[in-house]
Amino acid sequence: MNAARQAKRSLVSGDYVMTADDFAQIAATLKEMSGIVLSDGKVALAYSRLAKRLRILGLSSFAEYCAMIDSADGADELQAMLAALTTNVTRFYREPHHFDTLHDLFLSDLAQKARSGERVRLWSAACSNGQEPYSMAMTVLTAMPDAASFDVRILATDIDPNMVAEGRDGTYRSELLDPVPPQSRQRFFEASYDGHLAARASLRELTRFNVLNLLGAWPMKHKFDAIFCRNVAIYFDEPTQERIWARFAQCLHEGGHLFIGHSERVSGPAERYFEATGLTTYRRRRA
Ligand SMILES: C[S@@+](CC[C@H](N)C(=O)[O-])C[C@H]1O[C@@H](n2cnc3c(N)ncnc32)[C@H](O)[C@@H]1O
């Protein structure tokens, strides 16, 4: 097959033609927007997730879709593409050892820091629909029930505005709360519509949700005592990961903690700023 015909051939059989050029444009756009690398192994996944968008938009090929996201009016569709291609899988108390460590940090250090009038700041840096930051909030309130009376806050951010809105809403199907011990479920959630459970005011008071792209500017003025950035760097290439670790080193207090996903590791120049203190847990070195 000659090169021109090869370029027009669909990579996936289905209702729409997706050529190698279409896929390359989608992958390049996604990487530029979010840092996420769409490897060649993800062609079928990209096709099936975006075919739904083509159907909704009434388009007949990925060439048309690519022209749309490339056009001056493409901003809304770019957001929809990002939402379709990102993986938002999360769970309450996912990787529970991190929450045990956070609990211990409050007992040993952070509760006292807050009670002495200092600011204590935690960050869930790719919070998906809020299960991670609310798990952090439950952990804080279990270790320090009066945390909200002091200057203790959890910042929860994600690139996807839909996820941020769900987190802010704080309402979940009851089965998603299965990993939450019954006592905590009762203490921190209340019945909502149709078998759903909603985060109580005590969790909401501690937690602030905002859209933030880890690749863009970080407008936060103060340093953090702990950062959870879990299961997102895995989607970035090595140079992007290294830049993110270095930025975390700059915005963590000395002695502050960084928690990362189970298949991630701090790499590159930032390694000298971090010492591993447990499973995928790092402490910012003191100068
Ligand atoms: C697999 S979820 C992980 C959620 C949570 N941290 C956990 O471990 O359960 C990955 C999240 O990263 C977000 N994300 C992807 N790229 C991002 C970026 N450049 N900046 C901020 N968030 C991003 C996605 O929207 C998604 O919600």
pLDDT tens digits, 85-117: 999 999 999 999 999 999 999 999 999 999 999
HSE-CB of 198 using CA atoms within 13 angstroms: 9
User: Where does a domain end: 85, 119, 134?
Assistant: 85
* Secondary structure letter of residue 41 according to DSSP: G
User: Where does a domain end: 63, 85, 107?
Assistant: 85
**Collapsing DSSP states into helix, strand and coil, what is residue 77?**
helix
Quote the CA–CA distance of 129 and 124 in Å, as a whole number. 11
Q: Which atom of ligand 1 is nearest to the CA of 261?
A: 8
121 is catalytic: no
**Do 121 and 229 belong together in one domain?**
yes
**Do 133 and 268 belong together in one domain?**
yes
Question: Which range among 1-5, 8-12, 21-25, 84-88 shows the weakest confidence by mean pLDDT?
Answer: 1-5
Predicted pLDDT of residue 3: 56
Percent of the chain with pLDDT over 70: 98
**Number of folded domains that form the chain:** 2
Q: Which atom of ligand 1 is nearest to the CA of 83?
A: 25
User: What is the domain range of residue 51?
Assistant: 3-85
**Do 110 and 69 belong together in one domain?**
no
Q: Is residue 234 part of a domain?
A: yes
**Do 75 and 105 belong together in one domain?**
no
> Do 7 and 21 meet the contact criterion of CB atoms below 8 Å apart?
yes
**Collapsing DSSP states into helix, strand and coil, what is residue 158?**
strand
Ligand 1 centre distance from Cα of residue 47 (Å):
21
Output the six-digit token pair for 256.
Answer: 């502050």
Quote the CA–CA distance of 159 and 212 in Å, as a whole number. 5
Ligand 1 centre distance from Cα of residue 145 (Å):
29
Residue 6 has pLDDT above 60, yes or no: no
Predicted pLDDT of residue 287: 74
Q: Is residue 91 part of a domain?
A: no
pLDDT digits (tens, 9 = 90+) for 31-62: 999 999 999 999 999 999 999 999 999 999 99
* Secondary structure letter of residue 236 according to DSSP: B
Residue 268 has pLDDT above 90, yes or no: yes
Average of per-residue pLDDT values in the chain:
96
Catalytic residue from among 158, 160, 225, 283: 158
Predicted pLDDT of residue 10: 87
CATH number at residue 74: 1.10.155.10
183, amino acid identity: Q
CATH number at residue 263: 3.40.50.150
pLDDT digits (tens, 9 = 90+) for 59-70: 999 999 999 999
Quote the CA–CA distance of 183 and 274 in Å, as a whole number. 36
Residue 187 has pLDDT above 90, yes or no: yes
> Do 268 and 248 meet the contact criterion of CB atoms below 8 Å apart?
no
Ligand 1 centre distance from Cα of residue 184 (Å):
25
> Do 92 and 112 meet the contact criterion of CB atoms below 8 Å apart?
no
**Do 75 and 185 belong together in one domain?**
no
**Do 80 and 101 belong together in one domain?**
no
* pLDDT mean over 117-134: 98
**Collapsing DSSP states into helix, strand and coil, what is residue 191?**
strand
